[in-house]
Each structure stands twice: as C-alpha cells, then as structure tokens.
Amino acid sequence: MIFSHGKLLLTSEYVVLDGALALALPTKWGQEFFVSDHADGKSLVNWTALHKGKSWLNATIDYRTGKVVSTNIPESAAFILKVLMKVKEVSAIQLKQDSSYSITTDLQFPANFGLGSSSTLMNNLAQWAAIDAFELNETCLGGSGYDIAVAQEQSAILYQNQPERIVHKIDFNPSYTKDLIFIHLNQKQNSREGINLYRSKEKSPELIEEFSGITRRVLEVQNLECFSELMTLHENKLSDFLGIETVKEKHFENCPSFVKSLGAWGGDFVMSSKFSGYEDYFSGKGFSTVFTYQDLIY
C-alpha cells in the first residue's frame, strides 16, 4: 500500500505560481493506493476508486490500445486513461504489455474538500511507477507543484518553484495553532478558473516579493494577534490584486476574527480563529463543517 497526505496552502495562493515563497501543511487525511499485477498478456487496468471504502468509480482500461473498455463514469475514466498513458510512456517498470493490473484507490476525505484528491493520486502513481511526480502532475494537471511536495515530504514545507524548485521541510507548530480553525464553504472551487483570472493580470517582481515577505514573517511571529494581522494583510493584498472581494466581506462581515481564504478563492476551506460561540456563528451562516487545527493537520 502507498499513501500520500493531503494539503492546505496557508500563504501565497496564486502567486506561488510565479515564484512567491509559500507555506503549506499536510493534512491527516490522504489517499491510499493498492495494486496487484498478473502476467496474463491482456494489457488491462481494472481501476476501482473508493471514498472511505465505498466504490464510486469503476473502469477497465486497455493501456495497449489506449482505450476505456468500460466504466460507470466516462469523464473520470478518460482522465485516468490520460494519466495511465503518461505513466506508461515514462515508466521503465510499470504498464508493460504482458501484464494486467488491479488498482484500487481510497480517498479518505470528500473530493469537494479541495485537500488534494488529484495530487495525492499523482504522487501515489509516481511512487508506484518510479517516475517523477512533479513531471506527471505538470503534464496531466498543471499548477505550481506545492501539493506534490507536501505529499512527498509528509511535513509542513516552504515551497518556491522559480527560478528553480526549492522545498524546505519545517517544523511549524507555534502555540497559537491551538486557536486556529478551518471552515469548509460547502463547495469545491474550480482552481482553473481562479488561475486563469490570476494569469490575466500583470504581475510585478515587487508583488511576488510582498507575498514571500508575508510568508517569512509568518514563521517569525509568536502570537495569534500578530499572525491574524498577517493573514488579514495577505487577504487584503490579494483581494486588491485580483479585484475580488475577500471571503470575509462576502460571507462573514461581522466575524470578530480574521477569515482567510486557502487555495482557490470562492470554495474549499477558509481559516479563522476561535472566539466565543464560533461554532454557532459559522453554523448560523450555513457553514457547519468546522475543524480545529489539531483535527485536520498532520
């Protein structure tokens, strides 16, 4: 069995694409990967995708002809086919035409949580096939690659992808993490849309450095008040650049704490801190899925 942790990006969402220094954390939940092979000469992959042990996708793929033989969800099976054909192209050890494979994946969190259902799959496949997970992810999905780095390091990391990829494992456990909470916004945000909006805007080296500077300052602060100020600063700077209202302006204008978007704006998780009656407050706004830092972060 192969396992990869999910991820949350605390700083430099979007701007990490252009080389900003980012802080990312692994989640306790991730994705498991099981495989067996049979030298039967049939060149088939029997793929079963589970969520918490319950099957949602079944597909039989002929990797010799590059076709989906059968499936219950054609769109998802087409993506699996695309990834497997790339694995076949670059792997020296897997998907050889004298064998068939039974592959089962088990995702431990709902796919709409945005914690890395795709990146954990890419990393698991790359480990199995002994290929470069960053290359596989870039070819099949794109993005900055920070999520692959989290899956590989199984640790909090500092990540930068320009001018070259730099990954530093760090011990991120300041005392104020006991006060941090994560709230799910009840939907999966399409990160492609947000990235396209970001890509359409003119960036400057100064802008990228501003967010790198915030990331560095996050590592230095020792109390919740200073951390909250940095998160508010980060949110406001990115809001001004993107021309999008902050999540606090949109959903939580009267919240007594900071609220910061994590990853693609408009969905997935946001971060805040505990205050008196916080569970009732967020539930009253229609967002009842709330986790503490200790619940969610590995």
Q: Which position has the token pair 């252009």?
A: 18
pLDDT at 20: 96
Q: How far apart are CA 297 and CA 75, in angstroms?
A: 31
**Assigned token pair, 233:** 């600063």
CA-nearest of 102, 83, 91 to 42 is: 102
In this prediction, residue 97 carries a pLDDT of 86
Mean of pLDDT values over 269-278 = 97
**Tokens representing 41?**
């000469």
**What does the pLDDT read at residue 86?**
97
Residue 239 pLDDT greater than 80, yes or no = yes
Mean pLDDT of 84-101: 94
**Confidence label for 290 from pLDDT (cuts 50, 70 and 90):** very high
User: What is the predicted pLDDT for the residue at 189?
Assistant: 60
69/58 Cα distance (integer angstroms): 11
User: Which residues, listed in sequence order, are joined to residue 42 by a DSSP beta bridge?
Assistant: none
Average pLDDT, the chain: 94
**How many Cβ atoms are within 10 Å of 98's Cβ, its own excluded?**
11
User: Residue 143's pLDDT is what?
Assistant: 87
Domains of the chain with CATH codes: 2-169 (3.30.230.10), 172-296 (3.30.70.890)
pTM: 0.93
Are 46 and 27 spatial neighbours (Cβ–Cβ below 8 Å)? Answer: no
pLDDT tens-digit map of 194-212: 778 888 888 899 999 999 9
Over range 223-233, report the average pLDDT. 97
The vertex-77 CA angle with 74 and 6, nearest 5°, equals: 130
Report the distance separating Cα 211 and Cα 103, nearest Å. Answer: 41
Average pLDDT for 67-74: 98
Confidence of residue 112 (pLDDT cuts 50, 70, 90): confident
What is residue 223's DSSP assignment? S
Q: What is the pLDDT of residue 188?
A: 63
The pLDDT score that the predictor gives to residue 200 is: 85
Taking the CA atoms of residue 84, residue 87, residue 93 and residue 97 in that order, the dihedral angle to the nearest 10 degrees is 40
Average pLDDT over residues 270-278: 97
- State the Cα–Cα distance between residues 216 and 214, nearest whole angstrom: 5
Query: Could you tell me the pLDDT band of residue 169, with boundaries at 50, 70 and 90?
Result: very high
Confidence of residue 191 (pLDDT cuts 50, 70, 90): low
Digit-coded pLDDT (tens) for 7-36 = 999 999 999 999 999 999 999 999 999 999
Q: How far apart are CA 234 and CA 20, in angstroms?
A: 13
Confidence of residue 190 (pLDDT cuts 50, 70, 90): low
Query: Which band of pLDDT confidence, cut at 50, 70 and 90, is reported for residue 267?
Result: low
